[in-house]
Amino acid sequence: MNDRQSYKSDLSDERWALIEPVITAWKARHPSVSGHQGNYDMREIVNALLYQSRTGCQWDYLPHDLPPAGAVKYYFYKWRDDGTDQTIHDLLRWQVREKRGRLADPSLVVLDTQSLHAAAGVPAETTRRDANKKVPGRKRGLAVDVLGLVIAVVVMAASVHDNAVGSALLDRVVAGTESGAVKKALVDQGFKNAVRDHGAAVGIEVETVKRNAGDTGFVPQVKRWVVEQTNGILMLHRRLVRDYEHQPASAESRVYWAISDRMSRMLTGTSAPAWRDA
């Protein structure tokens, strides 16, 4: 890395060491036509992505001492399309779970959805209005384990019913974990019988955690609260407070990078600075 002044979102040497092998292997598989290794330090490319994730800035507002927006975009889209972002995320997740004395894949997941306003310029054909929550934009669905780590993410138009999001999440959970590992999924009452039936078809028991009729306001539900915690952690990344991405796949990739940022800190014993910190 060059001698520029560091940003709070920058990777430390220890955090970079966790993902550098994946990036180096990717570079070896994708040599340039002319044979050169590229003009930009891969660590600085990732630093730029994490800077944008934390600050929410537009591409053209990336600081001039980071690689130019065109180069950062190139790698963001490449890694999104070939799954490198998810590979990094999953490797870190396995390490965190192993460090906590758990198997690589969970036996239980928690599903939830969150409707987000779409920013100006996001294509209208990929956004709609959530009739229940009165939010025009997109719906983000998460499947997390009991540690709050993301197992799967799905982004769709906000008008899509939770049933469709939940079924898509279950499909991705099955595809992204060892066969038969995940046996149960907890959902709230927004998910209907269609999700339960789809779960049965893919080998996952879906249980609806019902709200206590006497509760008023927000009351955390046993085990299900971890997904709310994960949603709160994502809000530390301003790029995820609204949906700024032109494609839902980019919005999903942003979640993987944000949680990878968190997990790399968990593995190295460092904390992310909060906005209220001096």
- Is 27 inside any structural domain? no
pLDDT value, residue 276: 58
- Is 41 inside any structural domain? no
Q: Name the nearest CA neighbour of 144 among 227, 85, 204.
A: 227
pLDDT value, residue 34: 58
Residues 6+ apart with CB under 8 A from 208: 187, 188, 189, 191, 196
- Is 154 inside any structural domain? yes
Mean pLDDT value of segment 212-224? 61
How many domains does the chain divide into? Answer: 1
- Is 265 inside any structural domain? no
Q: Which residues, listed in sequence order, are joined to residue 185 by a DSSP beta bridge?
A: 109, 206
pLDDT value, residue 278: 54
Mean pLDDT value of segment 230-244? 96
- Is 196 inside any structural domain? yes
Distance CA 104, CA 216 (A): 37
Specify whether the CB–CB gap between 156 and 165 falls below 8 A: yes
Mean pLDDT value of segment 248-265? 98
Please spell the DSSP secondary structure of 178-230, one letter per residue: -TT---EEEE-TTS-HHHHHHHHHHT-EEEE-PPPTT--S--PPTTTHHHHHH
Q: Give the pTM.
A: 0.91
pLDDT value, residue 212: 65
Task: Pull the structure tokens for residue 44.
Answer: 């600085």
Q: How confident is the model at residue 151 (pLDDT cuts 50, 70, 90)?
A: very high
Q: Between 10 and 275, where is the model more confident?
A: 10
Q: Flag whether pLDDT at 132 surpasses 90.
A: no
What pLDDT digit, counting tens, does each position of 177-206 carry?
999 999 999 999 888 899 999 999 999 999
CB atoms within 10 A of CB 103: 11
- Is 211 inside any structural domain? yes
Domain that holds residue 128: 104-244
User: CATH number, domain at 213?
Assistant: 3.30.420.10
CA angle 14, 16, 21 (to 5 degrees): 115
- Is 128 inside any structural domain? yes
